[in-house]
Structures are given as structure tokens and as C-alpha cells.
Amino acid sequence: MADLGPVRFLTIHCAATPEGRAVEAATISKWDREKFGQVSYHWVIELNGHTVRTLGEAEKGAHVGKANSGNIGICYIGGVDAKGKPKDTRTAARKVKLATLIRTYQARYPGIEVRGHRDWPGVAKACPSFDVAAWIAAGMPA
């Protein structure tokens, strides 16, 4: 596995799984290995709010095209409605877990830039199905 390098970014993703569909972090990692040849995210927040580390702190993921160096990836299960349309499906528990991870990385890496996947240049997806910057600016409410 490639070295992550100096941490400069934290990118939030959704799994694009239907609202309420229980998918475990191990399944997300399996899908990623099949598609990208490796695990994509450093953390996955499961439907029940359980956070699972899926990559080591120094390992480079495969979650933002050619922008994975120095980039921590966090994915929450869900992100679409029953018809596959983008929808913020985070529960209060998952919002709390996500906020905790973000604050941990902000404390560990002052100046880290937190973005949604859709906020990267050239990304034409709704992922993570909510406005990360607006949520952070609002104080990351549950």
C-alpha cells in the first residue's frame, strides 16, 4: 500500500447505498478492492453509527481520483433514497460520529481542509449528498 504523505485534506463521502440499507464497512472495502484494487477509505461510518477504521493512518486510499496523497477519506453508509437519488441519510448518531472524526483531524492537523467529494475539481457526483462546508460552518449539528 502506498504512503499517504503529509495530511492536508479530509474528504467526506457517502457509499451511495439506499437509505436504511445496512451495509458493513467490510462490504464497502470488498467493493473497493474489486473496483480499485485496494481499500478506498480510512474510516467508514456504518448505519448504526459504529465507526470502523479501514485503512491505517499512513496509508493512501483510493477515494478522490488523482487527489489521494495527503487526503484522509471518510465514508458514511447511505447517501441516496430508495430510487437512487442523492439524499442526506445521516442519522443524528452518524452526524455526531462524523463531527467527532472531523474535529479529531482538525486538532491533529491544524489547517486541514475538509471537503465533500463533490467539492473536488472535476467531480460530477452529489457525494456525499450534503453541503459539507455549510454543515461545518453551522457547527456540525446532529
Given 42, 63, 87, 117, which residue is catalytic? 117
What is the distance between the alpha carbons of residues 35 and 51, in angstroms, rounded to a whole number?
Answer: 22
Instruction: Extract the C-alpha cell encoding 93.
Output: 448518531
What is the distance between the alpha carbons of residues 95 and 128, in angstroms, rounded to a whole number?
Answer: 12
Does the annotation mark 41 as catalytic? yes
Does the annotation mark 76 as catalytic? no
Instruction: Extract the C-alpha cell encoding 120.
Output: 473536488
Given 14, 30, 41, 87, which residue is catalytic? 41
Does the annotation mark 127 as catalytic? yes
Q: Name the residue type at position 64.
A: V
Given 13, 60, 63, 97, which residue is catalytic? 13
Given 42, 87, 105, 127, which residue is catalytic? 127
Catalytic residues: 13, 41, 117, 125, 127
